[in-house]
């Protein structure tokens, strides 16, 4: 019976006599008789050479069997199966054998050297210096592995990357201290072309429409120029000049300029000299103003006015759908901030207050004060109590800077040395002296503090966590639990939303979603941003309310603003503010009803049952889907002049190819269950003029029809989803991929969390208290600095 292996029958056939062989052999005779007469090997996994008397000795293949038993993916669809009790008994027995052996020999994983990725780097600068930076403008993108960009295996170092970190240290040092020798520079902020700007944008002042808001760090007290520009059509004509408008510029809510544009004069000039008129309008949206150093909110937005523009009988939701239309509402394209000009002083900024913990009263007090500043910075930056060598190295740079400048120049150079040190850029864990290579030991409190803060905050430990760790108290389970809860309740735990959930659920890829504007003319960046915000707020509610992680699948609430509510068909929601609402129907419950997931797993012009099925299997069920072979023919799309076929009909023809059928048999039923959602996540009942058929059979034999039935089938075995989420969360926490050694730990975390209803904090607690998180394998020593 080809294709049934690795299969349940193959496993049960190998059960020794002492494990109740007779009833299980009857199952084998009933479900897979022919397996007795052939070599049991499929996909490189051979079971006939294994013995259930020595399960731990061959843990890797048996872990694969356990995974397939728990997910019901063996034997394959169409083959008769044992009953649920037999499945569970066999999987439970295998797990107990594997888990007992793993408990006797804890495996922390191989030692890794972890470089801060750019998200962690930006957060570390924020918490070290009270300075927000755009790490993406300073450092190149990080590679990803196992679904995350904090995996040590791919966080390599090249000469080019080292230069980026050094350049970043120089720029950050000058900005944080307020170097008076800074030369004027500029930064341009862009607005996506498909952002609708005819309505209020969340985060901007009431009474405005469209526009942009940025928090900008002004390095020195001085003058700065603010230049906004308008979008132009594909014919280089400024849009929206037929009606008068005003663009307001403000800093921290203080108006600094109002630019008037549009109306009869501009419209007349537009017809005579289109390009010159656009340049003249842009020139009006330029202003120079004096601003104090530090972070300030800068806003450029249109002042709201009564609707006096021509209105279509059935207007599009998106206000910029036609790139050739010069009428309608004008749209801001960029905001550029340049300066400082005529700078006077560094000013009183949050970063200077954080750095300068003392101020010397005279020359004799400079060096002691500098040492105090350096010691404080090194302790926080290196995430451990500093030794004398750490201080001396930084003080050498202070002395050099002071020799060529003033006290603050010396501090700036010392800070740049600290930021460029491998002790800051890398998460260094040193083995205790006398520990031989390969020895497994429990890490120290200081190292545990860093692991905890980078897991929950993607950043460095704060003063309290470092103080507890330095005092040797963090190893106490009660103290560790209190610190974990404190970190989870802190606003910095939003990193779990932006970094963990953003990568697990692939929300970061939403910026690349570009539906076909001919088919979906109302899709705009407002909806794209709303998709992401909804899912982030939803995941955040699970974390901060410490809800069961099963609510990620079943919750009867979500978060919407007016734009998203209109897309979902939820009534009585007005304004740009997001608020929590009850889901009006079963289809929108949990992750499977989120527009972000549905749009991510679609093509530009249509849905994709394959992408949706693959996403569910890999991210919710934990079954990796192999890539398609290179010679797979493309799907035959509907042809002009022919009767349109539903996507299911097209896929049926595609699945007739034997090369394609095996994988599609697993993925397609899952994807088709979501077919009532179109390519942008809106509900529909028809495809190509025919009623949607959302029925199918899952790999475990369960019959489903639609998204609600799919959700019920997934949560009917809650341990499968929770196990998958725990694997993802542990991978993220450790910064390495998991293998078969780690699966007993994952199961233990899930079992313990099950006692509290799978609360999110229970999963985090299980990870923080696990052997891989608290232990390390010694390696050969290398110089760290």
Look at residue 454 in the predicted model and tell me its pLDDT: 98
| Long-range interactions of 546-549: CB distance < 8 A, separation 24+ | 546/759, 546/760, 546/761, 547/759, 547/760, 548/757, 548/758, 548/759, 548/760, 549/721, 549/722, 549/725, 549/758, 549/759, 549/760, 549/763
Look at residue 295 in the predicted model and tell me its pLDDT: 97
d(CA 748, CA 770): 9
Residues in the chain: 785
pLDDT tens across 3-36, in order?
Answer: 333 344 445 544 444 444 434 444 444 444 333 3
Placement of tokens 């890794």 in the chain? 112
Q: Which of 443, 359, 326, 455 is nearest to 736 (CA)?
A: 455
245 is written with which tokens? 């408008």
Placement of tokens 């080019």 in the chain? 160
Confirm if 411 and 373 have CB atoms less than 8 A apart: yes
3-state secondary structure 700-769: CCCEEECHHHHHHHHHCCHHHHHHHHHHHHHHHHHCCCCCHHHHHHHHHHHHHHHCCCCEHHHHHHHHHC
Reduced DSSP (H G I as helix, E B as strand, rest coil) percent helix, strand, coil of the chain, to 5: 45, 15, 40
Find all residues with CB under 8 Å of 550, minimum gap 6, and list them.
Answer: 715, 718, 721, 722, 757, 758
- Where residue 78 falls among pLDDT bands split at 50, 70, 90? low
d(CA 401, CA 409): 5
Residue ranges with strand state E in 517-625: 557-560, 579-582
Range scoring the smallest mean pLDDT among 69-83, 143-157, 701-715: 69-83
Phi then psi for residue 697, to 5 deg, are -125, 125
pLDDT tens across 350-383, in order?
Answer: 999 999 999 999 999 999 999 999 999 999 999 9
- Where residue 310 falls among pLDDT bands split at 50, 70, 90? low
Look at residue 644 in the predicted model and tell me its pLDDT: 79
Look at residue 240 in the predicted model and tell me its pLDDT: 80
Confirm if 272 and 360 have CB atoms less than 8 A apart: no
d(CA 409, CA 181): 10
Look at residue 52 in the predicted model and tell me its pLDDT: 78
Look at residue 21 in the predicted model and tell me its pLDDT: 41
Q: What angle do CA 52, 57, 62 make, to 5 degrees?
A: 60
- Where residue 556 falls among pLDDT bands split at 50, 70, 90? very high
d(CA 546, CA 716): 22
What is the per-residue DSSP string for 615-663? HHIIIII----PPPPTTPPPP-PPPTTSPP--HHHHHHHHHTSHHHHHH
Confirm if 172 and 129 have CB atoms less than 8 A apart: yes
Q: Say whether 598 sits in a helix, a strand or coil.
A: helix
DSSP state for residue 499 in the 8-state scheme: I
How large is the average pLDDT for residues 663-675?
89
Q: Which of 365, 368, 275, 318 is nearest to 528 (CA)?
A: 318
pLDDT tens across 26-62, in order?
Answer: 444 444 433 333 334 444 456 667 777 888 988 988 9
Look at residue 666 in the predicted model and tell me its pLDDT: 84
Range scoring the smallest mean pLDDT among 163-172, 311-320, 747-756: 311-320
Range scoring the smallest mean pLDDT among 150-154, 205-209, 302-306, 476-480: 302-306
d(CA 474, CA 448): 8
In the chain, % of residues over pLDDT 70? 89
Placement of tokens 């639609």 in the chain? 706
Range scoring the smallest mean pLDDT among 232-236, 250-254, 355-359, 366-370: 232-236
d(CA 540, CA 266): 48
pLDDT at 427 over 50: yes
Look at residue 271 in the predicted model and tell me its pLDDT: 73
pTM of the model: 0.91
Confirm if 722 and 758 have CB atoms less than 8 A apart: yes
How large is the average pLDDT for residues 630-640?
70
Burial string for 603-642 (b: 16+ CB within 10 Å, else e) reads eeebbbbbebbbbbbebbbbbeeeeeeeeeeeeeeeeeee
Our CA dihedral for 72, 76, 82, 83, rounded to 10 degrees, sits at 40
- CA distances from residue 392 to 218, 395, 398 in whole angstroms, order as listed: 32, 5, 10
pLDDT tens across 79-105, in order?
Answer: 677 788 888 888 899 999 998 999 988
The DSSP bridge partners found for residue 187 are 337
Q: Say whether 168 sits in a helix, a strand or coil.
A: helix
Look at residue 643 in the predicted model and tell me its pLDDT: 75
- CA distances from residue 131 to 290, 417, 675, 734 in whole angstroms, order as listed: 21, 17, 46, 27
Find all residues with CB under 8 Å of 30, minimum gap 6, and list them.
Answer: 80
Helix (H) or strand (E) holding 452: helix 445-456
d(CA 217, CA 175): 8
Confirm if 302 and 211 have CB atoms less than 8 A apart: yes
Look at residue 409 in the predicted model and tell me its pLDDT: 97
d(CA 331, CA 301): 9
d(CA 559, CA 580): 4
Question: Directed axis angle between helix 718-734 and helix 59-71, to 10°?
Answer: 130
Burial of 311 (0-12, 13-18, 19+ CB in 10 A): exposed
Confirm if 191 and 317 have CB atoms less than 8 A apart: no
Phi then psi for residue 246, to 5 deg, are -125, 135
DSSP state for residue 146 in the 8-state scheme: T
Range scoring the smallest mean pLDDT among 460-464, 499-503, 667-671: 667-671
Confirm if 447 and 773 have CB atoms less than 8 A apart: no
pLDDT tens across 583-603, in order?
Answer: 988 899 999 999 999 999 999
- Among left, alpha and beta (phi > 0; psi -120 to 50; other), residue 734 is alpha
d(CA 710, CA 674): 8
- CA distances from residue 316 to 325, 495, 568, 643 in whole angstroms, order as listed: 13, 36, 16, 28
Q: What is the mean pLDDT of the chain?
A: 88
d(CA 472, CA 467): 9
Q: How many CA atoms lie within 13 A of 109 on its CB side?
A: 23
- Among left, alpha and beta (phi > 0; psi -120 to 50; other), residue 678 is beta
Cβ of 558: how many Cβ atoms within 10 Å? Answer: 26
DSSP state for residue 232 in the 8-state scheme: B
d(CA 196, CA 625): 38
d(CA 451, CA 458): 9
């Amino acid at each position: 019976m080809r294709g049934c292996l690795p299969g349940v029958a193959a496993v049960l056939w190998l059960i020794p006599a002492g494990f109740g062989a007779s009833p299980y052999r009857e199952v084998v005779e009933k479900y897979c008789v022919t397996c007795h007469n052939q070599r049991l090997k499929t996909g490189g996994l051979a079971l006939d050479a294994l013995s259930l008397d020595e399960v731990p000795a061959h843990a890797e293949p048996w872990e694969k069997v356990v995974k397939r038993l728990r997910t019901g993916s063996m034997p394959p669809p169409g083959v008769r199966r044992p009953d649920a009790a037999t499945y569970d008994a066999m999987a439970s027995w295998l797990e107990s054998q594997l888990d007992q052996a793993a408990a006797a020999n804890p495996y922390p994983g191989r030692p890794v050297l972890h470089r801060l990725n750019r998200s962690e780097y930006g957060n570390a600068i924020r918490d070290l210096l009270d300075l927000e930076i755009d790490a993406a403008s300073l450092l190149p993108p990080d590679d990803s592995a196992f679904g995350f960009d904090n995996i040590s295996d791919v966080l390599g170092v090249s000469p080019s990357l080292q230069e980026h970190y050094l350049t970043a240290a120089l720029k950050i040092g000058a900005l944080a201290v307020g170097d008076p020798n800074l030369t004027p520079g500029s930064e341009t902020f862009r607005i996506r072309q498909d952002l609708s700007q005819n309505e209020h944008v969340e985060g901007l002042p009431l009474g405005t429409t469209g526009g942009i808001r940025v928090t900008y760090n002004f390095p020195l007290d001085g003058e700065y120029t603010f230049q906004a520009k308008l979008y132009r059509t594909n014919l280089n004509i400024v849009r929206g000049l037929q009606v008068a408008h005003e663009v307001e510029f403000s800093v921290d809510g203080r108006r600094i300029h109002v630019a008037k544009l549009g109306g009869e004069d501009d419209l007349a000039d537009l017809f005579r000299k289109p390009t010159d008129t656009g340049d003249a309008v842009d020139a009006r949206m330029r202003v120079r103003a004096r601003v104090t150093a530090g972070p300030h909110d800068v806003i450029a937005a249109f002042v709201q006015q009564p609707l006096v523009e021509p209105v279509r009988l059935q207007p599009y939701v998106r206000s910029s759908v036609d790139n050739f239309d010069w009428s309608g509402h004008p749209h801001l394209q960029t905001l550029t901030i340049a300066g400082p000009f005529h700078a006077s002083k560094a000013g009183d900024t949050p970063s200077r207050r954080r750095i300068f913990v003392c101020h010397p009263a005279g020359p004799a007090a400079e060096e002691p004060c500098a040492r105090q500043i350096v010691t404080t910075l090194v302790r926080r930056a290196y995430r451990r109590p500093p030794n004398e060598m750490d201080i001396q190295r930084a003080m050498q740079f202070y002395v050099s800077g002071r020799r060529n400048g003033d006290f603050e120049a010396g501090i700036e150079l010392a800070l740049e040395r600290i930021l460029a040190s491998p002790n800051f850029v890398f998460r260094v864990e040193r083995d205790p002296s006398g520990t031989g290579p390969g020895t497994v030991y429990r890490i120290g409190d200081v190292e545990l503090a860093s692991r905890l803060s980078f897991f929950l905050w993607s950043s460095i430990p704060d003063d309290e966590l470092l103080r507890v760790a330095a005092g040797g108290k963090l190893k106490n389970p009660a103290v560790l639990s209190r610190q974990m809860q404190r970190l989870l309740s802190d606003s910095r735990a939003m990193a779990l939303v932006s970094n963990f959930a953003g990568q697990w659920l692939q929300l970061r890829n939403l910026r690349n979603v570009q539906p076909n504007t001919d088919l979906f003319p109302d899709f705009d960046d407002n909806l794209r941003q709303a998709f992401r915000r909804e899912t982030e707020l939803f995941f955040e509610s699970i974390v901060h309310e410490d809800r069961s992680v099963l609510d990620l699948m079943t919750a009867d609430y979500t978060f919407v603003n007016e734009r998203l509510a209109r897309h979902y068909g939820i009534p009585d929601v007005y304004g740009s503010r997001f608020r929590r609402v009850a889901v009006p129907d079963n289809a929108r419950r949990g992750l499977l009803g989120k527009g972000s997931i549905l749009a991510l797993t679609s093509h530009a012009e249509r849905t994709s049952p394959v992408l949706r099925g693959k996403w569910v299997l890999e991210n919710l069920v934990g079954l990796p889907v192999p890539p398609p072979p290179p010679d797979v023919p493309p799907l035959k799309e509907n042809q002009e002049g022919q009767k349109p076929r539903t996507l299911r009909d097209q896929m049926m023809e595609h699945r007739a190819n034997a090369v394609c059928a095996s994988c599609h048999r697993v993925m397609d039923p899952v994807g088709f269950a979501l077919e009532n959602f179109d390519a942008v996540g809106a509900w529909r009942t028809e495809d190509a003029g025919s009623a949607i058929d959302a029925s199918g059979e899952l790999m475990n034999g369960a019959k489903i029809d639609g998204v609600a039935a799919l959700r019920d089938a997934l949560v009917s075995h809650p341990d499968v989803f929770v196990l998958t989420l725990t694997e993802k969360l542990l991978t993220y926490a450790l910064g390495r991929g998991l293998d078969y050694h780690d699966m007993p730990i994952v199961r233990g975390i899930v079992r313990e969390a099950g006692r509290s209803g799978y609360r999110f904090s229970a999963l985090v607690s299980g990870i923080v208290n696990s052997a891989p998180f608290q232990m390390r394998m010694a390696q050969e020593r290398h110089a760290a600095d």
